[in-house]
């Protein structure tokens, strides 16, 4: 990634006030948020910024990596479809019902397995109850 583009992304990231640390390594932006709940909002805003000022036909993919988040800048056709239905309606072969709203990576799965609490934890019980309620049990 060109240094000028990296600098623009770093200035934007700092200006949000949401991050305690940021670094670009091999074209990937690594961010440590003050509050991890800001990740989706930041992802959407970063994508908007990137498409408006850097590459109109580009996209941004987000991955959880430990206590950080990684943002990859990719061509539009390689972007994970995680944004609203309005953004994808009318795209070739895509209907709103076909859009997967989440991104799951090997990193996320590994972190999930590494950070699981022992069997019988309150979190596991709550998640199991929620799943059963969604299934109508």
Per-residue pLDDT tens for 9-32?
Answer: 999 999 999 999 999 999 899 999
3-state helix, strand, coil in the chain (%, to 5): 45, 20, 30
Tell me the average pLDDT across 113-126: 63
Confidence label for 120 from pLDDT (cuts 50, 70 and 90): low
Mark out the alpha helices in the chain (DSSP H runs). Answer: 3-16, 39-53, 85-88, 106-114, 122-135
Predicted confidence (pLDDT) per residue in 95-116, tens digit: 444 444 445 555 555 665 666 5
Residue 19: predicted pLDDT: 95
Question: How far is the CA of 53 from the CAs of 39, 42, 56, 79, 83, in angstroms?
Answer: 21, 16, 8, 17, 19
- Lowest-confidence region among 26-40, 106-120, 122-136: 106-120
Two tokens, residue 2: 């060109």
The CATH number of 3-103, from 1.10.3470, 2.60.120, 3.30.70, 3.40.109, is: 3.40.109
83 pLDDT more than 50: yes
- Phi/psi for 66 (5° steps) reads 65, -130
57 pLDDT more than 50: yes
Two tokens, residue 69: 């988040």
Q: How many C-beta neighbours within 10 Å does residue 135 have? A: 7
Two tokens, residue 40: 């989706």
Tell me the average pLDDT across 31-54: 94
Q: How many C-beta neighbours within 10 Å does residue 27 have? A: 14
Q: Where are the domains of the chain?
A: 3-103
Provide the mean pLDDT of the chain. Answer: 79
């Amino acid at each position: 990634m060109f240094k000028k583009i990296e600098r623009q992304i770093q200035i934007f990231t700092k200006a949000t006030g949401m991050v305690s640390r940021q670094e670009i390594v091999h074209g990937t932006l690594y961010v440590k948020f003050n509050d991890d709940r800001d990740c989706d909002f930041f992802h959407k805003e970063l994508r908007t910024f990137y498409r408006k000022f850097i590459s109109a036909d580009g996209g941004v993919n987000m991955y959880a990596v430990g206590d950080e988040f990684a943002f990859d800048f990719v061509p539009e056709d390689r972007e994970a479809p995680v944004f609203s239905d309005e953004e994808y309606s009318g795209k070739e072969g895509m209907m709103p019902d076909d859009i997967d709203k989440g991104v799951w990576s090997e990193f996320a799965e590994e972190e999930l397995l590494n950070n699981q609490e022992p069997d019988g934890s309150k979190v596991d019980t709550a998640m199991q109850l929620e799943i059963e309620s969604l299934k109508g049990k």
